[in-house]
Structure 1
Amino acid sequence: MSKTPLESKIETYLKDQIKGIGGLCYKFKSAVNGVPDQIVIYNKAIHLVEVKRPGERPRANQEHIHAQIAKQGVTVYTVDTTNAVDVFIKTVLGAKQKSKSRSKQKGVVMQSITQFKHIDE
């Protein structure tokens, strides 16, 4: 059995932390394969978030869709650890978490949040 947390554990942590700061977090199910799986609404803004298990990257079809979204001027964030969720909340949402009820993840290196942004050429 792997000690790597399941994607669902990180997804639950994201939802709990967003709720804790007064935001909304909804699972998004699209007919289009590759669309980000979470919609975070906080402080009059909507953010698209892809959740992965630690060290996992978006699949090729997800990267393609994320890049298409980025070309429309919307950033897609990918988080793969609870630490990355914390960084997203602090740096992207500009919010301070009240309490963190997560357990320590030994052996998991914090990965920065992946952002797909459109860059004008």
Structure 2
Amino acid sequence: MEKLKTESQIEAYLVKKIKQLGGIAFKFVSPGNAGVPDRLVVLPGGKIIFVELKKPGGKTTPLQDSQIARLMKLGCDVGVVHSIEEADDCIEYCRRNIESDRKE
């Protein structure tokens, strides 16, 4: 069983792995727009994914849910990550997007 990690540990792990893929995981702060996701992941090929990070068992707030829904309605990819396993799923999704872009 995975040892529980803090949100900051999960975030640091995600940032490191995205960098290894050749991407950037910007800390996303948007003044006047509270509740936006924590990270703006930019991948080779221009793919952008918003990622909200939570500690294991953590819940998004209603304001975060609203911002996530707003981004998704605009066609953006948005994920919520609660664990190292979910971070790995996100990283794999990013890797597949990079590979897909290279094939086109």
The TM-score bracket by the shorter chain reads 0.7 to 0.9
What is the distance in 2 between the residues matched to 1:22 and 1:30? Answer: 24
Q: Which runs of 4+ in 1 moved over 3 A?
A: none
Work out the percentage of aligned pairs sharing the same amino acid: 35
Match of 1:118 in 2: none
In the TM superposition, residue 62 of structure 1 has moved relative to its aligned partner by: 0.2
Of structures 1 and 2, the one with the larger relative CO (CA 8 A, separation 6+) is: 2
Q: Unmatched 5+ residue regions in structure 1? A: 96-121
What is the distance in 2 between the residues matched to 1:41 and 1:75? Answer: 11
Match of 1:60 in 2: 62
In the TM superposition, residue 92 of structure 1 has moved relative to its aligned partner by: 4.3
SS at match of 2:96: coil
Match of 1:39 in 2: 40
What is the distance in 2 between the residues matched to 1:91 and 1:42? Answer: 11
| The one of 94, 97, 105 aligned to 2:96 | 94
Over the aligned positions, Cα root-mean-square deviation in angstroms equals 1.8
Structure showing the higher helix proportion among its residues: 2
What is the distance in 2 between the residues matched to 1:22 and 1:79? Answer: 20
Match of 2:100 in 1: none
Q: TM-score, normalised by structure 2?
A: 0.81
Give CA deviations for 1:20-59 in whole Å, capped at 9, x if unaligned: 1211111011121111110111132111110111121211
Matched residue count: 94
What is the distance in 2 between the residues matched to 1:5 and 1:82? Answer: 8
